[in-house]
Chains A and B, each alone.
Chain A
Amino acid sequence: SQQGEEDPQALSIQEGENATMNCSYKTSINNLQWYRQNSGRGLVHLILIRSNEREKHSGRLRVTLDTSKKSSSLLITASRAADTASYFCATDVPNDYKLSFGAGTTVTVRA
Chain B
Amino acid sequence: GAGVSQSPSNKVTEKGKDVELRCDPISGHTALYWYRQSLGQGLEFLIYFQGNSAPDKSGLPSDRFSAERTGGSVSTLTIQRTQQEDSAVYLCASSLEVPNTEAFFGQGTRLTVV
The answer to whether A and B come from one shared complex is no
Q: Which residues of A contact B (CB under 8 A)?
A: none
